[in-house]
Structure 1
Amino acid sequence: MSNHVYKLIDLVGSSTTSTDDAIRNAIETAALTVRHIDWFEVTETRGHVVEGRIAHYQVTLKVGFRLAPDTPDGGDASATGGGAQAGGVSGIGTA
């Protein structure tokens, strides 16, 4: 088994369909700018209610990505760019 070092980021994803879809949205969007995503953990689940109906499902995730030796500091040069930081995921509801 290899030794790996991981960095954690927090993401928030949302969906009008389901919590599973909100998770998928967060991971797939983050994967556009963060390489080597290996795992996630759902830390919070929320929703936005409008007129007695669920308008958005919203989840907060901790996402672990493996640091690669591509740069001198051991991190991946593209690993923290773009929309990968907390709240940087598109489609976030107003909950």
Structure 2
Amino acid sequence: MSVAKVIELTTSSSTGIEDAVKSGLAKCAESVKNIQGAWVNEIKVVTDENGNIREWRVNLKVTFVVK
């Protein structure tokens, strides 16, 4: 029998959504083993006073198997 756990984390990037997801998963993998996948739960952008995107933020739900 396998048991999986889901944790939620927020990560950001000035480059884009994909970079935010990749860097968030890489950082998470430093302390969490057996990551099986992730859902992008929410996307947010931070803008400057002219409406230009400064930062992409994503909320991830990361699933891993508990051993």
Q: TM-score range by the shorter chain?
A: over 0.9
1 or 2 for the larger relative contact order (CA 8 Å, sep ≥6)? Answer: 2
Task: Find out whether 1:44 has 2:42 as its counterpart.
Answer: yes
Task: Find out whether 1:57 has 2:59 as its counterpart.
Answer: no
Percent identity over the alignment is 33
TM-score by length of 2: 0.93
Q: Matches of 1:53 and 1:34 in 2, distance apart?
A: 35
Q: Which digits, 9 at most, give the CA deviation of each residue in 1:31-65, with x for residues without a partner?
A: 00000111100110001001321000000010001
Give unpaired runs (5+ residues) of structure 2. Answer: none
TM-score by length of 1: 0.67
Comparing both structures, which one devotes a greater share of its residues to strand? 2
Q: Matches of 2:25 and 2:62 in 1, distance apart?
A: 8
- Structure 1 consecutive aligned stretches of length 4 or more whose deviation exceeds 4 Å: none
Letter in 1 for 2:65: R
Q: Which digits, 9 at most, give the CA deviation of each residue in 1:56-86, with x for residues without a partner?
A: 0000010001001xxxxxxxxxxxxxxxxxx
Question: Size of the alignment, in residue pairs?
Answer: 66
Q: Report SS of the residue matched to 1:40.
A: strand
Letter in 2 for 1:55: R
Give unpaired runs (5+ residues) of structure 1. Answer: 69-95
Pairwise CA RMSD of aligned residues?
0.8
